[in-house]
Amino acid sequence: MTINRAVATLIDAPRGLAGVVVTETEVGDVRGREGFYHYRQYSAVDLARTRSFEDVWHLLVHGRLPDARRSAAFTAETAAQRRLPDDVRAALPAVAEAGRGSGPLAGLRTALSLLGATQGFRPVYDIDADRRRADTVAACAAVPTLLTALYRLGRGLDPVEPREDLSYAANYLYMLTGSEPDPLRARAVEQYLISTIDHGFNASTFTARVIASTGADVAACLTGAVGALSGPLHGGAPSRALDTLDAIGTPGRIDPWIRERVLAGDRIMGFGHAVYRTEDPRSRMLREIALGFGGPRVDFAVEVERRVEAILAELKPGRELHTNVEFYAGVVMELCGLPREMFTPTFAAARVVGWSANILEQAADSKIIRPVARYVGPQPPVAVPAAG
């Protein structure tokens, strides 16, 4: 009798799976050496400069940019789903109170799970492509409402009900502040949101796809992605970049502050990226937006950027280190009136669309993501000691 044995070939991978190709995607790509990234076949920065958030959302979910008629229809479809189910609305005060010290992003994990349960989200393995798309749209439309409600409840304020006559970005600002948003600031926030919808197989996107590969429901996939995003090494840097500007304080302190940090080997928040070896194209666009507003804060940020690069060139020759998206994202969001504790949640309000596109793509493949680990502990067999 012949016995067939499956032999697993172990392939050593670099720490963090850096550079390892794990699947194929049509959602988008990041070309780090070129300083370029795209959503499907379009430059992401060009999309941010020329299209609405809803149009790019349509592109990610449906695979094509909409014409005027489809754009209007999709905008109306998504706006109609911003209002939360009664059961979710009723539970938010308790969620906000329980997570008072953690902030809206932590509350979003609980709220998304509850939304999925009340909306009857089923495992993506058990539903067709249209139902999966519908579930992602419902979840994405609700995320800004959940985040702003949790933020306001945490500050002792009543949530602001969403408006269907405002764009995704303008409605987000309206629900956050309770005031009619300034069009220039709403457009600046919209451009930031578009620029951060997707960015390759980052930790949160990969997490969403791993969960989707198990066949779990959309809410479970998004909840896992939010958990990954909450880590300070992933989504928590925009406010920390502003903290850097605050710590420096004045132009006269720029050089000594930077030199001290560089020589100590400390990380300067808002600089450097795991993929880009050139200037981050998102930072370039956001710098342009910031310069459009102008003012002392912007001038100071530009000077800090210039001196960091100059000092690094002097002290660390040959090392390419430029501003990443977080540096000017923090400046722009501050100019647009967003509180710092909402910087990363605002990032999540954009990235949820990219996560959803990746979930939909992964759900079409029934193969579960199941890598292996190389065991390096004590070798068995070791006798089990007697109890007691």
Structural domains of the chain, ranges and CATH numbers in brackets: 52-182+201-232+353-363 (1.10.580.10)
Label residue 224 left, alpha or beta by phi (over 0 means left) and psi (-120 to 50 means alpha): alpha
CB 105 within 8 A of CB 348: yes
CB 267 within 8 A of CB 21: no
> Distance between the two ends of the chain, CA-based, in angstroms?
46
Q: What are the helix (H) ranges across 217-342?
A: 218-229, 237-248, 254-264, 281-293, 296-315, 325-335
Residue 66: strand, helix, or coil: coil
Residue 37: strand, helix, or coil: strand
pLDDT of residue 276: 66
pLDDT of residue 236: 60
Beta strands 42-43 and 28-31 are unpaired
248: Cβ contacts below 8 Å, ≥ 6 apart: 254, 257, 258, 304
**Active site (catalytic) residues:** 273, 326
pLDDT tens across the length of the chain (388 residues): 343 444 446 677 888 888 788 899 999 999 888 888 999 999 999 999 999 999 999 999 999 999 999 999 999 999 999 999 999 999 999 999 998 888 999 999 999 999 999 999 999 999 999 999 999 999 999 999 999 999 999 999 999 999 999 999 999 999 999 999 999 999 999 999 999 999 999 999 999 999 999 999 999 999 999 999 998 778 666 777 888 899 999 999 999 999 999 899 888 887 777 676 777 888 899 999 999 999 999 999 999 999 988 988 888 887 777 877 888 899 999 999 999 999 999 999 999 999 999 999 999 998 999 988 888 899 998 889 898 7
Question: Six-digit token pair at 4?
Answer: 């067939």
CB 217 within 8 A of CB 122: yes
Q: In degrees rounded to 5, what are phi and psi of residue 330?
A: -60, -40
Q: Which residue type, as a one-letter code, is found at position 169?
A: A
Q: Which residue type, as a one-letter code, is found at position 385?
A: P
CB 307 within 8 A of CB 345: no
pLDDT of residue 237: 60
Nearest-10 crossing angle of helices 53-62, 183-195: 20
